[in-house]
Chain A
Amino acid sequence: MLPVPSHDPGPDPGDMPALSRRRVLLGGGRGLLALALVGTAAAACGSSGPPEPDPLEAELAAARADSELAAAAAKVGPPALAPALIEVSAERARHATALIEELSRAAGKPTPTPGAETTPASATAQSTPPAPPPRLQDVVAALRRSGENAAKLAPTLSGYRAGLLGSIAAACTTAWTVGLSPAEGPR
């Protein structure tokens, strides 16, 4: 019924001069960081400070951390909640994968192979659970924070990135308000 949203064709032409200049200044070795500035290149242009990291990097870190936390909580929490926590863990791992893809696309690099960079979240979760076992409320608090952060960031982005972060924010909010609540949960 509605057209499926398409990927952002790329940075606005207006951003290109700043971007190109930065790429030249920073050289190929730091190309990823330079390209990460797509959203902020205009503001950063002219300043002599270090380039700001791609805002999606923080979202990626949060997605991985949430995935690990939920996986760890699934092992120690009430068995009835384990399936929901495992689902949340898998969902945040998928967010991490999508964010890696977008970060790679923006940096003009091929997406890392699944074995290389997309699995550490779950792999680490299995091998090194955090010292104090996380409780359900820790996962809820983390998801709430992640949802709020993504919701703050999404409207400041544009094109595909705005949509991706919007979906991630909506998913985090749904996960803690419904996914980890009993059927008679908050209305």
Chain B
Amino acid sequence: MTSPNQPPDTDQPTPDPDRPEDADQAALFDALATEHGAIYGYGIVSAHVMPEQNELVSQALLEHRERREAAIAMLTERSVKVPLPAAGYQLPMAVTKSTEAAKFAIQMESDCAVAWRAVMEQANSEQDRAFGLTALTQCAVTAARWRQVLGAWPVIAAFPGGNE
């Protein structure tokens, strides 16, 4: 997935001093940071996909943006400092063709699914878990649609966001 430019040698983003210590808030913080990256990444995707995929890009981007706004509101409500989007992101793969853009979109949806499943597992309230579930489901559906676009098989994944 897209990672901030500073640490090219590691999968982990730069440790954010603002990252909360509470596991439930930290998971939400991480999910928001992942959504920031996805919103950046979908700009790249949008630039390279075929026109037939414009609707899918628009819908996916809308969902990521709505989740970002909701996550910002949830963290702010808890007096947690929200993560800011990075100035730039290093792409995990070269994206110069429509097929690469679709693969990149699948990767981003998978990363977001992992982040939102983590929210579900760490959350302390039914409300947060329900929000995480909606996000996880949207990511899973969008990833499957990108696999359909790509002609990849299988289209569905048994454990979106999980590694069972």
Question: Which A residues are within 8 Å of any B CB, using their own CB?
Answer: 1-5, 8, 83-84, 87-88, 90-91, 94-95, 98, 101, 151, 154-160, 162-164, 166-171, 173-175, 177-179, 183, 185, 187
A167 engages B156 (CB within 8 Å) = no
A1: which B residues are within 8 A, CB to CB?
1, 3, 11-13, 34, 37, 111
Q: How large is the interface on B (under 10, 10 to 19, 20 to 34, 35 or more residues)?
A: 35 or more
B164 engages A154 (CB within 8 Å) = no
A175: which B residues are within 8 A, CB to CB?
156
Per CB-CB distance, the 6 closest pairs between chain A and chain B, nearest first, are: A155-B129, A163-B121, A170-B140, A178-B144, A179-B156, A155-B130
B30: which A residues are within 8 A, CB to CB?
2-3
B55: which A residues are within 8 A, CB to CB?
187
Cross-interface CB contact of B157 among A2, A8, A174, A177, cutoff 8 Å: A174
Interface flags for B15-52 (1: CB within 8 Å of A; 0: not) read 00000000000000010001001000000000000000
Does B79 belong to the interface (CB within 8 Å)?
Answer: no
A156 engages B118 (CB within 8 Å) = no
Instruction: Please give me the residue from chain A that is nearest to B164 by CB atom.
Output: A98
Segment at the interface with A among B66-74, B93-101, B131-139 = B131-139
B161 engages A170 (CB within 8 Å) = yes
B160 engages A167 (CB within 8 Å) = yes
A178-B155, A179-B155, A179-B156 as given contacts; A155 in contact with B126, CB under 8 Å: yes
Max chain B Cβ within 10 angstroms of own Cβ: one of A4, A175, A178: A178
21 intermolecular pairs with C-beta atoms under 8 Å apart:
A1-B12, A1-B37, A2-B30, A4-B163, A5-B117, A94-B158, A151-B137, A156-B126, A158-B121, A158-B123, A163-B120, A163-B161, A166-B117, A166-B133, A167-B136, A167-B164, A174-B144, A174-B160, A175-B156, A177-B141, A178-B148
Instruction: Please give me the residue from chain B that is nearest to A91 by CB atom.
Output: B158
How many Å lie between the Cα of A169 and that of B137 in the bound state?
7
Interface of A is mostly: helix
Interface of B is mostly: helix
> In angstroms, how far is the closest chain A Cβ from the Cβ of B9?
14
B143: which A residues are within 8 A, CB to CB?
174
A174: which B residues are within 8 A, CB to CB?
137, 140-141, 143-144, 156-157, 160
B118 engages A3 (CB within 8 Å) = yes
A187 engages B56 (CB within 8 Å) = yes
Does B8 belong to the interface (CB within 8 Å)?
Answer: no
A166 engages B136 (CB within 8 Å) = yes
A84: which B residues are within 8 A, CB to CB?
155
How many Å lie between the Cα of A178 and that of B157 in the bound state?
11
Cross-interface CB contact of A162 among B13, B37, B120, B137, cutoff 8 Å: B120
Cross-interface CB contact of A151 among B3, B133, B158, B163, cutoff 8 Å: B133
Max chain B Cβ within 10 angstroms of own Cβ: one of A91, A159, A169, A170: A170
